[in-house]
Amino acid sequence: MRIGAHVDPADPLAEATARHAEVVQFFLADPQGWKDPQARADADALRGADVDVFVHAPYVINVATTNNRIRIPSRKLLVKHADAARTVGARGLIVHGGHVDKGDLATGIDNWRKTFAYAEESGGFATQILIENTAGGENACARRFDALARLWDVVGEFGVGFCLDTCHAHAGGEDLVDIVDRVKAITGRIDLIHANDSKDGFDSGRDRHDNLGSGNIDPDLVVAVIRAADAPVVVETPGGATGQSADIAYLRKRLNG
Residues that bind Zn ion (CB under 5 A): 165, 194
Give the C-alpha separation, 174 to 160, whole Å. Answer: 21
In the bound complex, what is the minimum distance in angstroms from residue 233's beta carbon to Zn ion?
A: 11
DSSP states along 36-75: PPPP-TTHHHHHHSSSEEEEEPPTT--TT-S-HHHHHHHH
* Residue 128 near residue 134, CB atoms below 8 Å: no
Cβ-based nearer residue to Zn ion, 37 or 172: 172
Cβ-based nearer residue to Zn ion, 71 or 194: 194
Strand residues in the chain grouped as ranges (E):
3-6, 23-27, 52-56, 92-96, 129-132, 161-165, 192-194, 197-198, 209-210, 233-235
Cβ-based nearer residue to Zn ion, 144 or 194: 194
b/e map 60-95, b = 16+ CB within 10 Å: ebbbbbbeeebbeebbbbbbbbbbbbbbbbbbbbbb
In the bound complex, what is the minimum distance in angstroms from residue 103's beta carbon to Zn ion?
A: 27
In the bound complex, what is the minimum distance in angstroms from residue 194's beta carbon to Zn ion?
A: 3
Cβ-based nearer residue to Zn ion, 1 or 43: 1
Residue with nearest beta carbon to Zn ion: 194
DSSP letter, residue 140: B
Cβ-based nearer residue to Zn ion, 111 or 198: 198
Contacts of 40 (CB under 8 A, 6+ apart): 28, 46, 87, 88
In the bound complex, what is the minimum distance in angstroms from residue 231's beta carbon to Zn ion?
A: 13
Contacts of 234 (CB under 8 A, 6+ apart): 3, 4, 5, 6, 23, 24, 25, 54, 192, 193, 194, 195
Cβ-based nearer residue to Zn ion, 162 or 250: 162
In the bound complex, what is the minimum distance in angstroms from residue 96's beta carbon to Zn ion?
A: 8
In the bound complex, what is the minimum distance in angstroms from residue 71's beta carbon to Zn ion?
A: 22
In the bound complex, what is the minimum distance in angstroms from residue 165's beta carbon to Zn ion?
A: 4
Cβ-based nearer residue to Zn ion, 43 or 229: 229
